[in-house]
Structure 1
Amino acid sequence: MAANLDPGPLSPREALLADRRAGAADRLPFYEVVSVTAEDGSGRTMLSHAAEALDAEAVAVLLRRGADPNAADRSELTPLLRVAAGPRDWPDDPASLDETVTVLLQGGASMIPRDSSGRNAAQRAAANLVHPFFRALEKAGVKPSGREEGTGDTLLHLVARAVEAFRNLPGEEAVERETDALMIAKILVERFGFDREARNSLGRTARDLAVKAGSRLLAPWLAHGDEVLGKTERCSLLLLTGGATAQEAAAMRDETKTAALIRLGLAPDEPAAEGDQQGLTPLSAAAEAMAVGAMELLLDAGADPAERLNQKAPGGRMTEGTSAMRMLIWAPGSPTRLPSGLTLQDWRRALTMMLRAPALQEWGG
């Protein structure tokens, strides 16, 4: 049975920070003598505590003395799994997290162990947007792998799901907070060759999930690449699209995204080839959702409400060979959830806009 671990009067993190403030290394002699096999009441070794404290020097000392880099505690967490989740104050010290992961990997830490939910270290880091973890993997030449059981999510999917936490933040703040997600995604795609078009068990790409999560930076990058990172007006417009297609933007009743897509020339009056709005034109998607503002924008841009452009749509919807006008007439009975405050006047306004559309006037109707 392992001896009881006494970590000393200061927590490993407090001891590290105290040494940094003093420009000293007073904590390290303790790591030279403490038992490397002793466990605390949670089954954690000193290596587990030092790693979570992001004390790479202490981790190196303990590994040199024979500490097991893959010893799991009673929560089934190895030191690497604990670091991967992102200790509470890691954003203030990303370089130490990078260095700690590097030392653990060099000391034999395995990427294979999983936590109680079935996630390995890379999946935990992706879900928590711990970007220095992936910088360390890149430097070590360790390619992360593995899909989540059940969902079939890749690491890109997990990153895309994580940006949901920033949905309600103001635009600039949301973009800033999504920077970690973008950094991870770029490493996964550009350094490790991850396919941004890979689909999970439900057939969703990471872009699909990021758009649904309301992403302001990651989704546009997944859709359009590094072009969104420039300083031109086009780059700004690409960010405003939120990575959505014209059909998705219309179905979300998002006039900002719809207007940006129109200005970019990315809202053609053609049916979508895939997705929840497969087979529908942007105008038809807007009509089905009773997105009056989006309809007005698309009609002003020249969308034809009478042209029977729609193709076969998923979900058993009768759309093939129909027009946007017909989709509007069917809207009250469609499976799409309509706005709760929708009135008969709104529907009349939408129908009037359709009848007065520039495309119909040019046709003679």
Structure 2
Amino acid sequence: RGHLVLLDSGISVNRADPTDGRTLLASAAHAGSADVTDLLLSRGADPLISDHQGQTPLTLSARQGHVRVLGMMLDWARGLELEAGMGMVEHADSEGWTALRSAAWGGHTEAVHLLLDAGADVDGCDAEGRSALRAAAWGGHEEILLTLLDHGAQVDKVDREGRTPLIAAAYMGHREAVEILLDHGAEVDLADGDGRTALSVAALCVPTAAGVKGYGEVASLLLERGADPGHRDQDGMTPLLLAAYEGHEEVVELLLEAGADVDESAGPHAAAASAAVTPLLAAAAMGHSATVGRVLFWGAAVDGIDGEGRTALSLAAARGSVEVVRALLDRGLDENHKDDLGWTPLHAAACEGHRGVCAVLTERGSMARVGEMDIEGRTPLILAAQEGHCGTVRLLLDRRSLIDHRAYDGHSALSAAALEGHAEVVELLMRRGTDTDVRDAEGRPLLYLLVLEGHLDMAALIMEKGGVPLESRDGEGRTALHVASWQGKLEAVGLLLSNGADPNTQDGEGRPPLHSVAWRGHVEPGRLLLEVRGVNVDLACRQQGATALSIAAQEGHANIVAMLLERGANPDHIDKYGRSPVKVAGKRGHFTIVRLLESYGAKPYSVRLPPSNTRSPRSPTVKSPSSACSGSNGARAGLHHGASTSTSSASCSPGSPGSTAEHFHSIQSSQTSSSTAHSQATVQTVPADSLSFTQQIQQHSLPRCRSRHSTLPPPSSAHGSLHGTSHRSQCPKASPPPPTLCTVTAMVHDSEKPYEGSPAGLDYPSKHKPPRLIQEERSQYGGGRWNSVMASLGVTPGQDGPKNRDSLPMGYPYQLQSPAQRETWEENRKMSITPGSPCVVAMTTTDPQLNLKQAIKLQFEGPTSAALYKRETPL
């Protein structure tokens, strides 16, 4: 009556539930309500409407076995045209289930009869090729099997995986279904796509509570009907091996009685690891003690090994089966046998944490040795500690296992447990007195490794328990604090400092942790280091003399630079190459840092001339130290391209506050001046055209005790002959000032072709000469005079190279070398200029004692100089 009220209220009879798409008719059919179904059909409900899963009222009633409702649906289908009616009967849902297959799977015999009488296809399949007969065999519905077979169903019809109804019935352990199919002509040894027959799957299946007895009966029936007990699948597995793996003791017995070989193996068709597996090894590996006993009773060989060299005892120990281990020990198996990895049964049990097996193997009367090592030098104790098996570790320690044994990688039980984060094992080992100063094969200490891997909780635990050396170093002298600083781990830096780590500790190159944060730009770790009392911000590395400020300036880390300056870092520190933080920052283009350094009192940055865009060489620009003098006001003159001297109010004192930038602008202004100005100094200035490149270098390389104002004869402008008069600069009662700037142009690489054996001429093997240079002065002097001047500087004459279109030699015929010894090729590489274009090179020599070798090295530093500070070796 309630349904009538709903329908009379105007609700559509075909209204569907939005959640599952089922109509009122589909819901009634699924529930088996025949009266409601009849009412809805009389009101015009459409039985062809499917829900979201493609199920119609007919398929829903067939799946549930509601025969009366199914009959109503079939009667309604008969009223349609033949094609439409059959389409309704053969309709399949989204998973391919037809009404007949659904009824057969559910065991609804009467529904199957109704559908077959309505013309349903007895061999109709879903998308996977599974028919109604296979569904009935899977469910073990004998009556439906007989009905379908009587209606002509194919007994050996296979699905897409090659499985027949017989294989499905055997897999599920349905003996009666197997017998029906065999009686109707099913082939007993027909294999599926994996090469398995009905006997193979009967041996493979894990017994259920309902079918535990059926598997033995199915195997027995199949063997009686002629099934092959030695059949191998595609993996080389026989029914006996499969039954042994699954622990089917009864099936194993039947197969052995049928003639199966108790020591058969998987053979060459199997994977390498299982090729030599026998039934005993298979049962032992799975811990099936009853099956192990059965194959041992049938005379299985106990000395067999698998493809990885493991015996049955090793496999049983790894599984943790105490019963199997005892049974095999009673049969005399070697408890110290090693597999291909060098593992004994005790290694296998310890790694898996099977404390009971370890106890059996190490108990009195057993010969298992707790100190045996595998191929990597690890003992069972190390394996147990690495896996975090605290109980097993305690047992092995009680059995006198060496607590501080080191594997070949240098790790002990402590480091193995700590690096895996097993705190309980670490505490146990430390209570037992283990050595905490552990290093791996690369010499890295435990605390170093914990910080490197990010195990800070474990690092804190070890430091809390005491005994771990905070200053332990790796092969390059780096500590855990170096590691934390390099990685920028603020928590790790704080942890180490709070436990007393020294912020001034230096590695083998003399680099403290501050250098690491300066390299990487880690602001917060750097701030933490600088807050420690007593930290030395001006520690310099040994090789290049760089401080943290120098490195941060080079790398462009302005925040680090600011912090270091606030903590009192020296902004004018000079490294071993004469470079200050201002210079290295300027060379890398970090002008914000340059201004920051200058604001803290650093000497102003030396402005350089920009690189030329032409290859034609120019006359060198020289600021001769002989142009400085003393007087009432003092004068400093700069010459450029032979220009006359100009007056300057700058003092001649070496400590004059006048910046190089101001001096540069004064030189520029002197070039545009139309009048010739004369210096008020009492000394004579040397014209720029009078100075050759070698004379400039020679002048800057003179020792302090010698006069830097030696006679420099200018060359003849016409024929290159020397002038007869000399120009000697005089500066009475005044020590010569140190050279400040020597800017040399007209230096060009021979870039016509790359050097032999080097890519693009950048790498120079030891058998080749370094880059050659062009000097304009070469064409102004006679050969003898030029050679004598260069010889005085330790430069060896060579052969003239080819000429370019400007009649200048393309190959510089001299090889630079110091007066003491020849430059190494590696040093010449560092000195080289970028090939292919002329460039302007500034040489700033702040140290008056700078020798020729250092002067040359500094002169040839380009914007991408190879003499940048050496980065730390990666961790």
Contact persistence 1:90–1:97 (CA under 8 A)? no
**C-alpha deviations, 1:44-98, integer Å up to 9, x for none?**
33322332332323433443444321112344332122222206x5453222111
- Classify the secondary structure of the residue corresponding to 1:195: coil
CA–CA distance in structure 2, aligned partners of residues 288 and 30 of structure 1? 62
Q: 1:153 aligns with which of 271, 277, 280?
A: 277
Matched with 1:208 is 314
- Residue 219 of structure 1 corresponds to which residue in structure 2? 325
Q: Secondary structure at the match of 1:92?
A: coil
- State the shift of 1:107 in Å: 1.1
Give the secondary-structure state (helix, strand or coil) at the position aligned to 2:328. Answer: helix
Distance change in 2, residues 1:92/1:276 (3 Å): farther
Q: Which residue of 1 aligns with 2:250?
A: 132
Instruction: Give 1:110 shift.
Output: 1.6
Separation in 1 of the partners of 2:171 and 2:368?
52
Query: Which of 262, 287, 290 does residue 183 from structure 1 map onto?
Result: 290
User: Secondary structure at 1:338's aligned position in 2?
Assistant: helix
Indicate yes or no: 2:220 matched with 1:102.
yes
Amino acid at match of 1:156: L
Which of 164, 169, 175 is the equivalent residue of 1:45?
A: 164
| Correspondence 1:276-287 to 2 at 5 A | 276=374, 286=381
- Alpha carbon RMSD of aligned pairs, Å? 4.4
Is residue 2:113 matched to residue 1:12? no
- Are residues 246 and 8 of structure 1, via their aligned partners in 2, closer, same or farther at CA, if it must alter by over 3 Å? closer
1:293 aligns with 2:394: yes
1:182 deviation in Å? 1.7
Separation in structure 1 between the aligned mates of residue 431 and residue 134 of structure 2, nearest angstrom: 73
Output aligned runs, 1:44-63, within 5 Å. Answer: 44-63=163-182
Paired residue type of 1:293: R
The one-letter code sitting in structure 2 at the alignment partner of 1:99 is: E
Are residue 265 (structure 1) and residue 383 (structure 2) matched? Answer: no
Give the Cα–Cα distance (whole angstroms) in 2 for the partners of residues 205 and 59 of structure 1.
38
Q: Is the 8 A contact 2:133 2:145 kept in 1?
A: no
Q: Do the aligned partners of 1:48 and 1:78 also contact (CA within 8 Å) in 2? A: yes
After superposition, the C-alpha distances for 1:149-179 in whole angstroms (9 at most, x for unaligned) are: 3122222222333x3xxxxxxxxxxxxxx5x
Which residue identity does 1:339 align to in structure 2?
A
Q: Are 2:240 and 2:255, in contact at CA under 8 Å, matched by a contact in 1?
A: no
SS at match of 2:416: coil
Amino acid at match of 1:67: A
Give per-residue Cα distances to partners, 1:118-145, cap 9 Å, x unaligned.
Answer: 4232233333333332132144343352
Q: Compared with structure 1, are the counterparts of its residues 255 and 55 closer, same or farther at alpha carbon in structure 2 (3 Å cutoff)?
A: closer
Letter in 2 for 1:333: G
AA paired with 1:130?
A: H
The higher relative CO (CA closer than 8 Å, separation ≥ 6) is in 1
- Aligned with 2:200: secondary structure? helix
In 1, Cα distance between equivalents of 2:159 and 2:226: 25
Give how far 1:209 is off: 1.4
**Counterpart selection for 1:92 from 190, 210, 228:** 210
Task: Show structure 2 runs of 5+ residues with no match.
Answer: 1-121, 125-130, 333-343, 386-391, 436-875
The corresponding residue for 1:168 is none
- 1:253-285 Cα distance to aligned partner (Å, 9 max, x none): 76655555565432687976xx949x99xxx76
Counterpart in the other structure of 1:320: none
Change beyond 3 A, Cα 1:63–1:335: farther
Equivalence for 2:91: none
SS of residue in 2 equivalent to 1:12: helix
- The answer on whether the counterparts of 1:75 and 1:116 sit within 8 Å (CA) in structure 2 is yes
| Equivalence map 1:350-361=2 (5 Å) | 350=433
CA distance in 2 between counterparts of 1:254 and 1:14 reads 41
Counterparts in 2 of 1:142 and 1:347: CA distance versus 1, 3 Å: same
Q: Which residue of 1 aligns with 2:405?
A: 328
Alpha-carbon offset, residue 350 of structure 1: 4.0
Q: Say whether the 8 Å CA contact 1:292–1:350 is kept in structure 2.
A: no
> What secondary structure is seen at the aligned counterpart in 1 of 2:405?
helix
Q: Contact between 1:98 and 1:133, CA under 8 Å: does it hold in 2?
A: yes
* Residue in 2 that maps onto 1:338: 416
Work out the CA distance in 1 between the residues paired with 2:193 and 2:393.
Answer: 56
Q: What is the CA distance between 1:30 and its match in structure 2?
A: 4.6
Asked whether 1:78 is paired with 2:202, we answer no
Report SS of the residue matched to 2:399.
helix
Whole-angstrom distance in 2 between the partners of 1:15 and 1:253? 43
Quick one: which of 289, 300, 308 aligns to 1:194?
300
Structure 1 letter corresponding to 2:241: Q
Deviation (angstroms), 1:196: 2.4
TM-score of the two chains, using structure 1 as the length reference? 0.58
The amino acid of 2:266's aligned partner reads: R
Q: Distance in 2 between matches of 1:130 and 1:28?
A: 28
Structure 1 residues 187 and 103, CA gap change in structure 2 (3 angstroms): same
Task: Kindly state the Cα deviation for residue 113 of structure 1 after the two structures are TM-superposed.
Answer: 3.6
**Aligned mates of 2:431, 2:408 — CA distance in 1:** 12
Contact persistence 1:258–1:297 (CA under 8 A): no
Query: Equivalents in 2 of 1:268, 1:111: separation in Å?
Result: 39
Would you say the 8 A contact 1:81–1:124 is kept in 2? yes
What letter corresponds to residue 186 of structure 2 in structure 1?
A: A
Kept in 2: contact 1:52–1:83 (CA 8 A): yes
How far apart, in 2, do the equivalents of 1:159 and 1:268 lie? 23
Change (3 A) 1:196 1:7: farther
Q: Distance in 1 between matches of 2:406 and 2:194?
A: 57
- Gapped regions of structure 1 (runs ≥ 5): 17-24, 164-177, 227-243, 304-323, 353-365
1:293 shift after superposition: 2.5
When residues 276 and 156 of structure 1 are mapped into structure 2, their CA distance, relative to the original with a 3 A threshold, is farther
The amino acid across from 1:200 in the alignment is D
Contact 1:31–1:61 (Cα < 8 Å) also in 2: no
Residues 241-252 of structure 1 aligned to structure 2 (within 5 Å): none
Larger Rg: 2
5 Å-filtered alignment, 1:17-36, equals: 26=143, 29-30=146-147, 33=150
State whether residues 246 and 258 of structure 1, in contact with CA within 8 Å, keep that contact through their aligned partners in structure 2: yes
Check conservation: 2:320, 2:354, Cα contact below 8 A.
no
Cα gap change, 1:346 to 1:267, in 2 (>3 Å): same
Residue 39 of structure 1 deviates from its aligned partner by 0.2
- Asked if 1:349 corresponds to 2:432, the answer is yes
Equivalent-residue separation in structure 1 for 2:134 and 2:358 (angstroms): 59
Q: Which residue identity lines up with residue 187 of structure 2 in the other structure? A: D
- Indicate if the aligned counterparts of 2:140 and 2:176 stay in contact, CA closer than 8 A: no
Aligned residues: 277
Whether the aligned pair in 2 keeps the contact of 1:147 and 1:155 (CA below 8 Å) is: no
Query: 1:51 & 1:289 partners in 2: Cα distance?
Result: 43
1:333 and 1:62 mapped to 2: Cα distance? 65
Cα distance in 2 for partners of 1:294, 1:146 equals 37
Q: 2:238 aligns to what?
A: 120
Report the CA distance between 1:205 and its aligned residue. 0.7
Residues 295/112 of structure 1: CA separation in 2 closer, same or farther (3 Å cut) = closer
